[in-house]
Structure 1
Amino acid sequence: MNTTCPQPVQEEVISLLDHGFVKLIDFMGSDLRTVNAARVSFGGVSKGEEKDKALIKYLMEHKHLSPFEHCTFQFHIKCPIFVARQWMRHRIASYNEVSARYTEVKDEFYIPSEFRVQDTHNKQGSLASKDLDNETLLKIYIDSIEASYRAYQRLLKAGVAKEMARGLLPVSQYTQFYWTVNARSLLNFISLRADGHAQYEIRVYAEAIEKIFKQKLPWTWAAFEALQNKI
């Protein structure tokens, strides 16, 4: 008897920023799954593509969203810690993150291609600017990261526990986590984090996930996009 555990099909890795990525590990469901989940209330099933698409549009427009929860995505994410902390504010999902208590942190930190200035009209936002001396500022930024990582290594070599030595590392450090999320919650994530007001570093992840969503649930995405265009 074959006791080997079946492995999910590995999807393409989408590289982001300087060391990050998004990878779809597993997916369960379909647009038809949402349709059937909605129609089970009346003991019904699919009524053909045209009517099924119309139902998904109706569900989206009238905020009958629980049927979309029957489609589930699982991602492997690698991103800077400050991006992960924004990400994990989306709580209707499951997370498992690598622990720097147990594993030694790699020399992988986010280095921006250029700095932005604070947006004076939006306290949460930032703007591109030609007034900054990026070469000088990047040197300050990189020197600080390198100094913190050298100090981290010195603490480890001196016998300090990983869970304590990690305390001096900056939030530009890369982390990795598994993220399992249903389609309803994922649309909420995309609507907020792919928006032009979201921070660039998380927006690129949301835009990559948006492309994956479109491929897996094209009818649902079309209904969602149509609704967004009305707002």
Structure 2
Amino acid sequence: MPLSRDQQDEIEALRNQSVPTLRATAPGMEAHLYTAYPVLDHGFVRVVDYMGDDAAICQAARVSYGRGTKSVSNDEGLIRYLMRHWHSTPFEMCEIKLHVKLPVFVARQWIRHRTANVNEYSARYSILDREFYIPAPDALAAQSQVNNQGRGAALAGDEAARVLRWLTEDSMRAYDHYEEMISTEGQQGLARELARMNLPANVYTQWYWKTDLHNLLHFLRLRADDHAQYEIRVYAEEICRIVADWVPFAYRAFEDYRMGGATLSATALDCLRRMLKGEEVTQENSGMSKGEWREFARLLD
């Protein structure tokens, strides 16, 4: 179950409260507050709190840059200008706090984004739930032959069934032993901080994760990308949906310039100019390595 009964009761009580405020609010985000959106088989993402909106980005930019922004006639135009020219501090004026339930191996990828405040569920103090991420059959895939950190063709038939069986059986066996080790019935019982090391990386953990919009968009650019691992990408995609309602101007600019745009090296830009002049440019005369050329060619397809 993604949410415990106690968590559901707490959320329901919070949603039923109505407190007047003088601070800026974002109607799109208000609709998301306290709602837990399911991700994977037992995970979720929910907004606990937030600060700022599109107007807060513009307000900060106009204080910082003064006259330099007077030629921009509206907030959306200003935000697009800031995104286009890689300004960062105005986007840091917005913050979000998320409650996330996720498998440990996804959390270890996620925590590499160090520009955030994190408080994780303590397995030294509390007992972890018997909840493990078991992939859906269509999420099982072989190792990619061209990408050392990616997936290839999907597993099928007996092999897929065997892998799912082992994942499930090993997870349950590890948790059985975890429970037996910490039990105090007829024994001293092993400390929780030691017993947890026997649990597999697909066990679920939870944390509160707070970050500003600038760093959140950097996280989303990498983790909502098609090349990101599926298990973290689905969390990023759910967060994208929330951010689009929170700061619609900023998110549209992000989609345009970061997710849908591309950064070209000086060499690639020179090749593009040569192509526009009618010159035949190949990898051999481009000045690029084979890998760079493949990436450049994909951009032009």
TM-score by length of 1: 0.91
* Aligned twin of 1:3: none
Distance 2:52 2:111 in 1: 24
97 and 130 in structure 1: CA distance in 2 versus 1, 3 angstrom threshold: closer
* Aligned twin of 1:230: 261
User: Secondary structure of 1:99's match?
Assistant: coil
* Aligned twin of 1:177: 207
**Counterpart check, 1:151 vs 2:151:** no
108 and 225 in structure 1: CA distance in 2 versus 1, 3 angstrom threshold: same
Aligned pairs for 1:129-140 (under 5 A) are 129-131=154-156, 133-140=159-166
Higher normalized contact order (CA 8 Å, seq sep 6+, divided by chain length): 1
Which of residues 172, 194, 201 in structure 1 aligns to 2:231? 201
* Aligned twin of 1:210: 240
* Aligned twin of 1:18: 41
Which of residues 129, 134, 137 in structure 2 aligns to 1:111? 134
Aligned pairs for 1:76-91 (under 5 A) are 76-91=99-114
Distance 1:224 1:124 in 2: 26
Deviation at 1:139, TM superposition (A): 1.0
Identity of aligned residues (%): 43
Letter matched to residue 99 of structure 1: S
38 and 164 in structure 1: CA distance in 2 versus 1, 3 angstrom threshold: same
Deviation at 1:16, TM superposition (A): 0.8
Which of residues 119, 125, 136 in structure 1 aligns to 2:150? 125
- 8 Å CA contact retained: 2:60, 2:93: yes
* Unmatched 5+ stretches in structure 1: 1-5
Distance 2:190 2:227 in 1: 41
Give 1 or 2: higher helix fraction.
Answer: 2
Letter matched to residue 188 of structure 1: H
Deviation digits for residues 148-204 of structure 1 (CA, Å, limit 9, x no counterpart): 111111111141100001111000000000000100001001000011111100000
User: Secondary structure of 2:210's match?
Assistant: strand
* Unmatched 5+ stretches in structure 2: 1-18, 22-29, 263-301
Distance 2:91 2:234 in 1: 24
Runs of 4 or more, structure 1, over 4 Å off, are 6-9
User: Secondary structure of 1:74's match?
Assistant: strand
- 8 Å CA contact retained: 2:142, 2:155: no
Structure 1 range deviating more: 119-128 or 55-64: 119-128
Distance 2:163 2:261 in 1: 42
Deviation digits for residues 92-137 of structure 1 (CA, Å, limit 9, x no counterpart): 1100000100001110111111221111111111134244522222
Deviation at 1:43, TM superposition (A): 5.2
55 and 96 in structure 1: CA distance in 2 versus 1, 3 angstrom threshold: same
* Aligned twin of 1:28: 51
Distance 2:220 2:20 in 1: 28
**Counterpart check, 1:162 vs 2:187:** no
Number of residue pairs matched by the alignment: 225
User: Secondary structure of 1:230's match?
Assistant: coil
* Aligned twin of 1:41: 64
Letter matched to residue 217 of structure 2: L
Deviation at 1:61, TM superposition (A): 0.7
